[in-house]
């Protein structure tokens, strides 16, 4: 059996399992809310995660994965996880859970118990390599997001300090001259 066809047939089940594994990384009450609230306006995080993993799934199973598109889809999820209380490894671990789901589905279907074709094994290796690539891309995205957050925090601290010094009259501003 062709791995892409197998994954396409199992897409709904795989996405459901993957979504639930991601939600399990959140506190129980938060996860419950994300699972039970289907309205994307009331639950933008849960909606973004589900739509994002569906796009990631579709891109990874393509024969030729578009890395630029994959990066955009990953960024949608990683931006959320970067501002939450996740370490880098926790933020991108959801990518590797995709491999676990794949392994479980292949084992349940006994696809490797039968003599696996060379094509199937090559597809499996290719698919796992794409997941690894997605994890590396996710790490880069996470680091850029965190750098931006730290930059914003540093700039805000500078502005606040400047305003405090102004209020304490420790900074004297020179009047601007009209050059005209």
The per-residue pLDDT string of the chain (180 residues; one tens digit each, 9 = 90 and over) reads 688 999 999 999 999 999 999 999 999 999 999 988 888 888 999 999 999 999 999 999 998 999 999 999 999 999 999 999 899 999 999 999 999 999 999 888 877 766 667 888 888 999 999 999 999 999 999 999 999 988 988 989 989 988 888 888 887 776 665 555
Classify residue 62 by its DSSP letter: S
Tokens of 78: 């990683």
Distances (CA, A) of 82 to 71, 77, 140: 15, 9, 11
Residues 6 or more apart from 48 whose CB is under 8 A from it?
A: 76, 77, 80
> What global pTM score does this model have?
0.82
Q: Which long-range contacts (CB under 8 A, 24 or more apart) does 49-55 make?
A: 49/19, 49/22, 49/23, 49/77, 49/80, 50/15, 50/19, 51/76, 52/76, 52/77, 53/15, 53/18, 53/19, 53/22, 53/77, 53/94, 54/15
């Amino acid at each position: 059996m062709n791995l892409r066809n197998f994954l396409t047939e199992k897409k709904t089940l795989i996405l459901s399992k993957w979504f639930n594994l991601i939600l399990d990384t959140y506190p129980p009450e938060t996860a419950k809310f994300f699972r039970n609230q289907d309205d994307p306006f009331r639950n933008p995080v849960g909606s973004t995660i589900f739509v994002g993993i569906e796009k990631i799934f579709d891109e990874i199973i393509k024969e030729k994965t578009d890395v630029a598109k994959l990066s955009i889809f990953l960024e949608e999820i990683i931006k959320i996880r970067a501002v939450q209380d996740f370490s880098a490894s926790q933020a991108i671990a959801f990518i590797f859970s995709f491999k676990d789901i794949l392994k479980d589905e292949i084992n349940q279907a006994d696809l490797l118990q039968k003599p696996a074709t060379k094509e199937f094994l090559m597809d499996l290796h290719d698919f796992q390599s794409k997941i690894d690539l997605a994890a590396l891309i996710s790490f880069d995205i996470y680091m850029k997001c965190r750098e931006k957050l730290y930059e914003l925090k540093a700039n805000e601290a500078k502005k606040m300090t400047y305003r405090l010094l102004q209020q304490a009259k420790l900074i004297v501003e020179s009047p601007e001259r009209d050059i005209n």
